[in-house]
Amino acid sequence: MTDVLITLRDALRTFAAERDWEPFHTPRNLAVALTVEAGELLEHFQWMDELASTQLDAGRRQQIGEEMADVLLYLIRLSDKLHVDLADAARRKLQLNAQKYPAEKVRGSSKKYTEY
């Protein structure tokens, strides 16, 4: 795990311990919370067209950044509870995606790997 992820993981451990939230931070509850926060992130883009989603003002970007942070923090906490090295898992997933989506075959296409 990277230094940044370790620092965040440790801060989250401390944050939860200081509030006696450990009993609530089960993998299931954390996965649910992660999904809720992802929904809150998506809500900022609801009813926006593609162009508007790329031209956000500073206030909206800050709000979206806070939701993104919530998603990241819950994901880090979940990975801690499940003993998953998140950075390693992401590196492995990128390698798998490179095999599923070879650039020479999928360049410029949004099709799923099962469709080409």
37: nearest Cα among 11, 66, 8 = 66
90-106 pLDDT, tens per residue?
999 999 999 999 999 99
Structural domains in the chain, sorted by start:
3-84 (1.10.287.1080), 85-116 (no CATH)
The model's pTM: 0.91
- Residue 57 pLDDT > 90: yes
Question: What tokens does 85 get?
Answer: 């090295």
Residues 90-95: contacts with CB within 8 Å, 24+ apart?
Answer: none
- pLDDT of amino acid 20: 98
Cβ-contact 79, 6 below 8 angstroms: no
